[in-house]
Amino acid sequence: MTNRSHYTRRQIVQLSSAAAAVGLAGCSGVSTGGDGAESETADTSGDDHDEEGGHDEEGGHETVGEPTATAEVGVNTTDDGEAHFGPHVTRVEADGTVTWVLESGSHTATAYHPDNDQPQLVPDGTEPWDSGMLSEEGETFEHTFETEGVYHYYCAPHETGGMIGSVIVGEPDAHEQPALDDPPEDKPHAVREKITELNQMCNEALGQGHD
């Protein structure tokens, strides 16, 4: 009786852990093999977000276009509880402006910058930005990027779930970007995995066929 009771409790713990892992992968939008109920395979996770700038159906990643003067990023929590930026990678010209638009949930758009108590994943000498908490539907935040380079940013309450995005400004040299170095060792696995995915997308957009 005791052994059977113990085994049942252990099963419950295992099932709970598996459910938590699936939930985390769903928030991250990362290919972890458990990206929510709507994903068909691990390689196409996030395909259901194509209309919002998610992954495309052919190469596994969204298409990153040419630099534009302005760009808009949707910030939302889906009905399934997945929090993400769409598109994941945005590209503007030098002196271009990105506007984040809150579609649902409560989120921030915050630069990976030492002034934000984070590792530097933005070009050298650039200023940090932090939207503060966006909580009202339709609320916006904008930032103008003066320096060419790659900028990674995150949502403060959902970073550990992988809610991270990138901005490419102009035509920077991929080899000179702190953001495209290996992900910070002290970050959780889900964060490192998402940054690795973003780095691959940014490198491909800049003509580099490697991570």
Q: Please report, rounded to a whole number, the percentage of residues in the chain having pLDDT higher than 70.
A: 70
Mean pLDDT of 86-113: 97
Q: Is 50 exceeded by the pLDDT of residue 14?
A: no
pLDDT digits (tens, 9 = 90+) for 113-141: 999 999 999 999 999 999 999 999 999 99
- Cβ atoms of 151 and 116 within 8 Å: the answer is no
Please report whether residue 211 resides in a domain: no
User: What is the reported pLDDT for 63?
Assistant: 85
16 found inside a domain = yes
- Domain membership of residue 210 (yes or no) is no
What's the chain's average pLDDT? Answer: 78
- 189-205 vs 2-28: helix crossing angle, rounded to 10: 30
pLDDT of residue 82 exceeding 70: yes
In a domain, 151, yes or no: yes
Judge whether 121 lies within some domain.
yes
**pLDDT average, residue stretch 82-103:** 96
State the residue range of the domain holding 127. 2-205
- The pLDDT assigned to 40 comes to 34
The residue ranking higher by pLDDT, 48 or 87, is 87
What are the residues whose beta carbons fall under 8 Å from the beta carbon of 12, sequence distance 6 or more? none
The pLDDT of residue 15 is above 60: no
DSSP label at residue 182: S
Q: Say which CATH number the domain at 180 has.
A: 2.60.40.420
In a domain, 57, yes or no: yes
pLDDT at 32 over 90: no
pTM: 0.72
Domain count along the chain? 1
Location of structure tokens 């915050």: 110
